[in-house]
Amino acid sequence: MQAIRNRDTKPEWLIRRLVHARGLRYRVAAKPLPGLRRTADMVFGPAKVAVFIDGCYWHGCPEHYVPPKTNPGYWSDKVARNMARDRDTDQRLEEAGWTVLRFWEHEPSEDCAQRIAAEVEQRRSERRKAREGL
pLDDT value, residue 4: 61
pTM of the model: 0.92
How far apart are the C-alpha atoms of 123 and 129, rounded to whole Å?
10
CA angle 111, 114, 116 (to 5 degrees): 110
Residue ranges and CATH numbers for the domains of the chain are 10-32+42-122 (3.40.960.10)
- For the stretch 42-78, pLDDT in tens is 999 999 999 999 999 999 999 999 888 899 899 999 9
Task: Provide the 10 A C-beta neighbour count for residue 50.
Answer: 28
Long-range contacts formed by 25-30: CB under 8 A, 24+ apart: 26/51
Looking at the DSSP bridge assignments, the partners of residue 43 are 27, 50
Alpha helices in the chain (DSSP H): 10-21, 72-95, 109-133
- For the stretch 7-38, pLDDT in tens is 889 999 999 999 999 999 999 999 999 999 99
pLDDT at 84 over 90: yes
